Amino acid sequence: IILLTGATSVKALLNEKRGITKIRGQWLQWEGRWVVPIFHPAYLLRQQSREVGGPKWLMWQDIQAVRAVYERLQAGLPVEDLTSPPV
């Protein structure tokens, strides 16, 4: 699992034109590996709110999804069907 932190890493690795707020949390394949764009930590440091739907809340949802996928991979379970964040 590769975490792409911020729009710059997404653009560099995936040549993706969409903004980070539109693509964050979406699971993608890159060279046989699962990658997921997330907000850059510096952006989160500038955000004060932890309200539902805010950047810090969204990041927490993304990290929980990453952990769920990681645990599936560790258990040898398939994750080929990832096209959106796991629930």
Q: What does R_g of the chain's alpha carbons equal in angstroms?
A: 13
With a CB cutoff of 8 Å and minimum separation 6, the contacts of 70 are 1
Confidence of residue 83 (pLDDT cuts 50, 70, 90): low
Q: What tokens does 10 get?
A: 């997404």
Contact 66, 29 (CB under 8 A): no
**pLDDT surpassing 90 at residue 82:** no
Q: Name which of 84, 3, 2 is nearest 41 in CA terms.
A: 3
Architecture of the 2-74 domain = 3-Layer(aba) Sandwich (3.40)
| 50-54, 61-65, 82-86, range with the lowest pLDDT | 82-86
**Reported pTM:** 0.82
- The CA-based dihedral angle spanning residues 78, 83, 52, 58, taken in that order and rounded to the nearest 10 degrees: 80
